[in-house]
Structure 1
Amino acid sequence: MATGVPEVPLGGGAGEADAAAQRNWRSAARLSSGVERAEAFLAAAGFDRGPWLAVAFAGGIGAWFLLHEPWQWVSVIGAAVLGAIAAQAIWRERGDRANLRLAAISLAIMVAAGVAVVWLRSAAVGAEPIPYPRVERIEARVLERIDQPAEDRVRLVLAYRDAEAGLARKVRINVPLASDLAGLTEGAIVRLRTRLMPPSPPMLPGGYDFARAAWFQGLSATGSLIGDIELIRSGDEAHGLAGIQRTLAAHVRERLSGSPGTIAAAFASGDRGAIARADEEAMRDAGLTHLLSISGLHVGAVIAAGYLLAIKLLALWPWLALRVRLPVLAAAIAAGAGVGYTLLTGAEVPTVRSCIGAVLVLIALALGREPLSMRMVAVAAIAVLLLWPESFVGPSFQMSFAAVLAIVALHGSAPARAFLAPREESWFARLGRRTAMLLLMGVVIEIALMPIVLFHFHRAGVYGALANVIAIPLVTFASMPLIALALALDIIGMGAPAWWLAGKSLELLLGIAHFTAGQPGAVKLAPQMDLATMALFVLGGLWLALWRGNARLFGLVPAIAGAALLIATPAPDVLVSSDGRHVGVAGVGTHLLMLRDTRSEFTRDNLLELAGLEGEPVPLDRWDGARCSRDFCTLAIDRGGRRWVLLMARSGDMVEERALAAACDRADIVVADRFLPRSCRPRWLKADRRLLSQTGGLALYLDEPRMKTVAEGQGEHGWWRGASR
């Protein structure tokens, strides 16, 4: 019976099924072949899962900061979990392929964990900022006292109850030294009148984000004292470690006066508040700032000294030497010294990282394992990020771990091992090889740190590698041991000779810093590096550090691409602060033109650094090409093949609307720190208070033209208080 449906021969159906099966087999074979090639590459390149787990964890934290909204954070966590499940489902086989499966699963889980950890940290410690500036009279408890004699002030971190909001708040207040009181320490109860401000977001795109830092520190506001402080109850002068730290710093500065004393106090206690601005700037421009921040160098020196002293002194006791493994006991004593020094100096992120790393090195030595390894660095990184995930986006964490990665990668490379291998030679030749390796290490560290320094600070010391070759051994083998010896001899009143020698070594250190910083071209300035360029440098650096053999050379590709993008990065033509009061115009001559002459070094330095310019800025009303009245300034500049006319408000006085509208019609860009009427319609941009309250500070690139805003990188994170929220 005919059905109208064509009959299909049985043989043909079987043939199509076989063909489909053959295609599936070929797809599986190709997948299997690809997996095998990936496994072969990982084996040849020396893949070690441990360091990459730290990279994945940090990547999850970075994704949380980079992405703007909660649904995006949830999506990353979900995608990572699904990726782990897919890896488990696809690679079920055991054997060699299990390594690749385990790597894929663990890396995906670490990405999800990174997002979750920083999100939970933000929710747990984030402090809601006050909604607006205000003057209040408060009664508060002193949580922390930070002495800053170089700035002629004391900083107090206070806790009080905000009756209006019904919340307990934590604020930071600047108190002039003239208003300081005895007993104004941790635990004191005070009553004062203060001017409070919400923590400030970046003034300009690429600037320092204090609002984000304050959020994770639990600060709701910062402010300054009005009038005098009334001390209701005194605090404990020797309150915990903070009191010991202040007492030690004061003792060091008493025994060693001047700039050497302030540096010695920083080494001994971590207190940098008394270091003069000129010395800080010289150390920064010479590439020696890391010596002022208690980090791996200082902790390593303390632990190494503790280990050597312990093992030498314990060896003098025969009964103990015959019954106890002295290296293990000495390692425990040295670890205790390192932990104590870390706590005493404030337990900052670089110090904690260094302490963890040094303790791991001691454990490895005690167990007879390789002390310097990428796994040790990875464990220290994960430990720090678990405690302070927000540190990942800060320069301290990035510079600290970049330097350690560079050192471990360099010393673990085959050429370096061959160069430093023991051989029959004179002591002079051996010293020469060690010196050459020290110089090479300094150069490698400077190269590794340069992108990070330029990204965060927009300036870097060019001769830092050369300065560090002298400064690091000087601090490690002279200054710090002499300070420790002087403190020990002070117990019996015989520390003066050691203090004199320590002072001379620190004078030499400061001399190196000022000489290096004073050389022509000692500082490299750069405009704001974008995130894509920074990501290329990070990718290239990690690839070079974590792979082995020739495979690591592929890391040069993104690094070179990042360098090319950095060189091609244009400087902004116009910078507008978030309040509209400060405008900087670059590229008109060799100076930065500023709308207002300001006494604020913070404002001036931000404008200069983000414009990539040096020297003193020139007020706009003193520039021949500008026309300024009491209320407005007008400036015409040529960019991108056309002339741009800028109109900038200087005062808050009332202006006749028709005259303002006519002036706006003739301008391309209008900037004002107040609300402008709708009749003001410039040809391209009206940056008044209405717009700036939503965007924050602006960077304008007129060749394209385009606008970069502070708000672009903020999203719905708790510390951003844009008007759209």
Structure 2
Amino acid sequence: MSDARAAEHEELVDSPGALSLAPRLKRAALALQDAYVEEVDLRRPFLWRAAAAGAGVLLYFAANHEPSLTLCWSALAVAVLFCFLTRRHARARALFVALAFVAAGFAAGAWRTARVAAPVLPRLGIGELTGFVEEIDLRPAGARFVLRVASAEGLPGDIVPARVRLTTRGAPHFEAGDFVALKARLLPPARAALPGGYDFGRDAYFLRIGGVGSALGRIETMPPPDPAPLWLRFFTGVDRLRNALAARVYKVIGGDAGAIAAAMVTGKRDFLSENAKDLIRRAGIFHIVTISGMQMTLVAGLFFVGLRRLLAASQTLALNYPIKKWAAALAMVGALLYDIGTGSRVGTERALVMTLIMLAAVLVDRPSLSMRNLALAVFFVVAFEPEAILGASFQLSFAAVGALIAVYEWRGAYLAQSRTHSQPARPQSRLAEWREAALDRLLHGPGALLIATLCATSATASFMAYDFHELSPYVLIGNPLTLAVIEFFAVPCALLGTALYPFGLDGFVWRWLEMGIDLIVWLAGLIAAAPGASLHVKAFAPWALLFLALAVLSAVLWRTWTLRATAIPLALFGLLGAGGGVGFDMIVPATGDAAAIRLPSGELTLLGRKPGAFAAEQWLRADADGRAPSDARSAAACDESGCVGRLADGRAVSLVLARGAFLEDCARAAIVVTPLRAPSGCAAPIVIDREKLAETGAISLRLLKDGAVAWTTARGIDEDRPWSRRPAQTPRQSLAEEDENSDAELAEPLD
């Protein structure tokens, strides 16, 4: 601190009004300013530029209509220009640099949307398709596959989607890379089942999937009219190997243990039963069936350490050549191949980028492990897959790794400070000795692992609660066990088993892996059976998550405790918003063929002949209700024409599924819900029909004390985005065509 600043501090303390509010606020402002100067010396503001780029992506997706790409790039150019013009003014330059990164994130979102633009089906249709099979996910019964469409006939509007995702009930007689012809029944990708919920339609748009449905009849394999591109042949070959290896692991081990093993080795999770998914989810260890960043780091570490020791076995190489750099370069290749071989998801991509940066740092003799690596990984995701920021995988992965790096930085700084300020031994009080001993336990050995796990869990808790409406209190037990299984069983077995599989010598490897999985499943059963193993959390507003996310960023990105303390008020605002959620009393999905209503008892019940399992699970989770969808239909009175129920205030709700039921239900019900277009003379006070849902998407209703109803919709007013087009004003269709377009839901439950 400068002498002038110190004198100013002393003047504030010694002044007669030092106890008044104004001097205290000024002292706090000076402390924050001093802390920021220290952060600048540590080059920490750079990390917030990654956060600014992410904020720009969020602003892009919050836009009500699609912005002009030219306008986005122009705004970025203007921001960069002002950065240059204000380069001699530190505060102004800092402001415009932040705005430039926000504009860059916004432009990246617009650019990505323009790059992946592809046709999307407007409504249900049946057509004849041909194309290359890009990817297959095998299941115990049937399969799900992605078809890269070459031609399509008979679909609405003569649309030819770039890709479609289809299911088949029988065992597929084709492989990834085959050119097939088939007849398919397709729907547009499903939209969010509740306002603020998971929107598969948006994700499908960025995957260039224009329709989902099921294959009808025989799927014929035929010679392609043109050879497949080289990149397609490569990635379909990788998928064939993944499927063959997954099937091999599943058959050798069998049951849920085999399904978990196949997922851990190849990333293919479709063999998992619902019971197995529920068990590991309640134990807080669902990430064992995903190829996580932890596995990527371990694989790269095994390559690096193993190759370095192998090269060091030669005295000539060890003494005359940079074998450490050779090992780092080869480990980079191994990490890249592992990412490709396991499906290259967001979590592994983040870990891949960070791992490549760390290994590249070894090549140029620079420090490798730092928060800047994480920021560079964020820039990579923003540049190439900005939509991933909206997903749970990105949020959980980056929050957890950020917390772990922050703990590592704090530990290193504390140990360095302890060595610098070490003093000759002198008598200490018992309390001081106990404190030092406890701190030593927390900085080394199992204590350090528990502290790191606690911090990572705290950093991800808000995202877990928002995305999955569930928290696992026993995660401090489950995560170390998961780490042990991944480190000693999964990763070594995946590498060794994959190498031995072509020779048919891999059987004993999977038996070894089975031992570890049996152990973790047994322990997961104990954890899941413990009282309070799963804490269900009600849905809360996105603005609350924004404050919670800022609290996490403040806690992990700043190094000074003064600025880290800003996480406390941010977290309090977020927790107040999360705890004060307004809730709902009725939910209607965008399809209009089902609903959930709140009974006088306070529980939800489902209306519909066959409510979608995925949508129903989302509704119950958003209400912090742990029941299975099959247990939430006892109060529903349904027949072939529809369902009838009553809200908590006694108002009747009718779900009309047959046109002949409108006459009676429009006269007696307070709320009519239907996937059809309701007659213009329907007398019900509230009518939610096909036309209304096309404008609003999913709807949630909340009953107010004065008898009024508060509406929340998934689509904004006049929203018009490429994945959520404004409904076209078309002439009324015939009743027969309406009934066909509102047929039963065809898309598979999305996971």
TM-score range, shorter chain: 0.7 to 0.9
Alignment partners' CA distance in 1, 2:204 and 2:249: 31
In the alignment, what sits opposite 1:674? Answer: 676
Q: Do the aligned partners of residues 76 and 518 (structure 1) sit closer, same or farther apart at CA in structure 2, a change above 3 Å counting?
A: farther
Task: Report if aligned partners of 1:245, 1:269 keep a CA contact under 8 Å in 2.
Answer: yes
In the alignment, what sits opposite 1:141? Answer: 131
- Bigger shift: 600-609 or 445-454? 600-609
Match status 1:645 vs 2:651? yes
Q: Deviations over 1:76-124 (max 9, x none)?
A: 77666655555655x463xxx54x4543333222211111121111111
1:194 Cα deviation (Å)? 0.9
Q: Deviations over 1:666-688 (max 9, x none)?
A: x3x332333333443444x3222
Alignment partners' CA distance in 2, 1:57 and 1:151: 44
Task: Report if aligned partners of 1:374, 1:408 keep a CA contact under 8 Å in 2.
Answer: yes
1:574 Cα deviation (Å)? 0.8
Q: How does 1:179-578 map to 2 (within 5 A)?
A: 179-181=171-173, 184-233=174-223, 239-413=236-410, 417-418=414-415, 433-488=444-499, 495-549=506-560, 550-578=562-590
1:442 Cα deviation (Å)? 1.4
Alignment partners' CA distance in 2, 1:449 and 1:475: 20
- How many residue pairs align between the two structures? 672
In the alignment, what sits opposite 1:114? Answer: 105
TM-score, with length taken from structure 1? 0.84
Q: Do the aligned partners of residues 333 and 651 (structure 1) sit closer, same or farther apart at CA in structure 2, a change above 3 Å counting?
A: closer
Alignment partners' CA distance in 2, 1:369 and 1:277: 47
Partner-residue secondary structure (3-state), 2:119? coil
Q: Do the aligned partners of residues 74 and 393 (structure 1) sit closer, same or farther apart at CA in structure 2, a change above 3 Å counting?
A: farther
Partner-residue secondary structure (3-state), 1:312? helix
Q: Deviations over 1:600-655 (max 9, x none)?
A: 422321221233212245799853xx8778756554444xxxx3513313441425
TM-score, with length taken from structure 2? 0.81
In the alignment, what sits opposite 2:23? Answer: none
Alignment partners' CA distance in 2, 1:470 and 1:629: 49
Alignment partners' CA distance in 2, 1:548 and 1:597: 56
Q: Do the aligned partners of residues 494 and 198 (structure 1) sit closer, same or farther apart at CA in structure 2, a change above 3 Å counting?
A: closer
Alignment partners' CA distance in 1, 2:661 and 2:637: 17
1:336 Cα deviation (Å)? 1.4
Q: How does 1:71-150 map to 2 (within 5 A)?
A: 85=81, 89=85, 91=86, 93=88, 97-98=89-90, 100-138=91-129, 140-150=130-140
In the alignment, what sits opposite 1:24? Answer: none
1:300 Cα deviation (Å)? 0.9
Q: Which amino acid aligns with 2:38?
A: A
Partner-residue secondary structure (3-state), 2:308? helix
Alignment partners' CA distance in 2, 1:607 and 1:386: 34
In the alignment, what sits opposite 1:43? Answer: 37
Alignment partners' CA distance in 2, 1:420 and 1:495: 50
1:597 Cα deviation (Å)? 4.6
Partner-residue secondary structure (3-state), 1:711? coil
Alignment partners' CA distance in 1, 2:418 and 2:569: 30
Alignment partners' CA distance in 1, 2:497 and 2:464: 35
Q: Which amino acid aligns with 1:510?
A: V
Partner-residue secondary structure (3-state), 2:161? strand
Task: Report if aligned partners of 2:146, 2:164 keep a CA contact under 8 Å in 1.
Answer: yes
Partner-residue secondary structure (3-state), 1:588? coil
Q: Do the aligned partners of residues 341 and 616 (structure 1) sit closer, same or farther apart at CA in structure 2, a change above 3 Å counting?
A: closer
Task: Report if aligned partners of 2:128, 2:153 keep a CA contact under 8 Å in 1.
Answer: no
Q: Which amino acid aligns with 1:539?
A: L
In the alignment, what sits opposite 2:668? Answer: 663
**Aligned match for 1:171, one of 163, 167, 170:** 163
Partner-residue secondary structure (3-state), 1:654? helix
Task: Report if aligned partners of 2:678, 2:689 keep a CA contact under 8 Å in 1.
Answer: yes
1:314 Cα deviation (Å)? 0.6
Match status 1:718 vs 2:722? yes
Q: Which amino acid aligns with 2:50?
A: A
Q: Deviations over 1:6-49 (max 9, x none)?
A: xxxxxxxxxxxxxxxxxxxxxxxxxxxx9999864521345523
Give the unaligned 5+ runs of structure 1. 1-33
Task: Report if aligned partners of 1:586, 1:611 keep a CA contact under 8 Å in 2.
Answer: no
1:61 Cα deviation (Å)? 1.0
Alignment partners' CA distance in 1, 2:235 and 2:106: 40
Task: Report if aligned partners of 1:591, 1:617 keep a CA contact under 8 Å in 2.
Answer: no
1:74 Cα deviation (Å)? 7.7
Alignment partners' CA distance in 1, 2:581 and 2:45: 35
Task: Report if aligned partners of 1:714, 1:720 keep a CA contact under 8 Å in 2.
Answer: no
Alignment partners' CA distance in 2, 1:37 and 1:438: 33
In the alignment, what sits opposite 1:27? Answer: none
Task: Report if aligned partners of 2:291, 2:347 keep a CA contact under 8 Å in 1.
Answer: yes
In the alignment, what sits opposite 1:700? Answer: 701
Alignment partners' CA distance in 2, 1:74 and 1:527: 41
Alignment partners' CA distance in 1, 2:509 and 2:612: 41
Alignment partners' CA distance in 2, 1:200 and 1:661: 28
Q: Do the aligned partners of residues 178 and 621 (structure 1) sit closer, same or farther apart at CA in structure 2, a change above 3 Å counting?
A: closer
Alignment partners' CA distance in 1, 2:484 and 2:256: 20
Q: Do the aligned partners of residues 714 and 223 (structure 1) sit closer, same or farther apart at CA in structure 2, a change above 3 Å counting?
A: farther
Partner-residue secondary structure (3-state), 1:594? strand
Q: Do the aligned partners of residues 490 and 435 (structure 1) sit closer, same or farther apart at CA in structure 2, a change above 3 Å counting?
A: same
1:368 Cα deviation (Å)? 4.4
**Aligned match for 1:610, one of 614, 619, 622:** 622
Partner-residue secondary structure (3-state), 1:470? helix
Alignment partners' CA distance in 1, 2:366 and 2:338: 25
Alignment partners' CA distance in 1, 2:401 and 2:621: 28
Alignment partners' CA distance in 2, 1:268 and 1:466: 23
1:345 Cα deviation (Å)? 0.9
Task: Report if aligned partners of 1:150, 1:276 keep a CA contact under 8 Å in 2.
Answer: no
1:387 Cα deviation (Å)? 1.5
1:152 Cα deviation (Å)? 3.2
- Bigger shift: 79-88 or 472-481? 79-88
Q: Do the aligned partners of residues 215 and 299 (structure 1) sit closer, same or farther apart at CA in structure 2, a change above 3 Å counting?
A: same
Q: Deviations over 1:470-496 (max 9, x none)?
A: 221221133322443445566776655
Q: Do the aligned partners of residues 680 and 431 (structure 1) sit closer, same or farther apart at CA in structure 2, a change above 3 Å counting?
A: closer
Larger Rg over CA atoms: 1
Q: Do the aligned partners of residues 587 and 376 (structure 1) sit closer, same or farther apart at CA in structure 2, a change above 3 Å counting?
A: farther
In the alignment, what sits opposite 1:58? Answer: 54
Give the unaligned 5+ runs of structure 2. 1-27, 426-435, 730-751
Task: Report if aligned partners of 2:80, 2:97 keep a CA contact under 8 Å in 1.
Answer: yes
Q: Do the aligned partners of residues 492 and 661 (structure 1) sit closer, same or farther apart at CA in structure 2, a change above 3 Å counting?
A: closer
Q: Do the aligned partners of residues 627 and 230 (structure 1) sit closer, same or farther apart at CA in structure 2, a change above 3 Å counting?
A: closer
Alignment partners' CA distance in 1, 2:594 and 2:615: 8
Task: Report if aligned partners of 1:203, 1:577 keep a CA contact under 8 Å in 2.
Answer: yes
Task: Report if aligned partners of 2:586, 2:702 keep a CA contact under 8 Å in 1.
Answer: yes
Partner-residue secondary structure (3-state), 1:575? strand
Alignment partners' CA distance in 1, 2:494 and 2:57: 39
Alignment partners' CA distance in 2, 1:709 and 1:102: 40
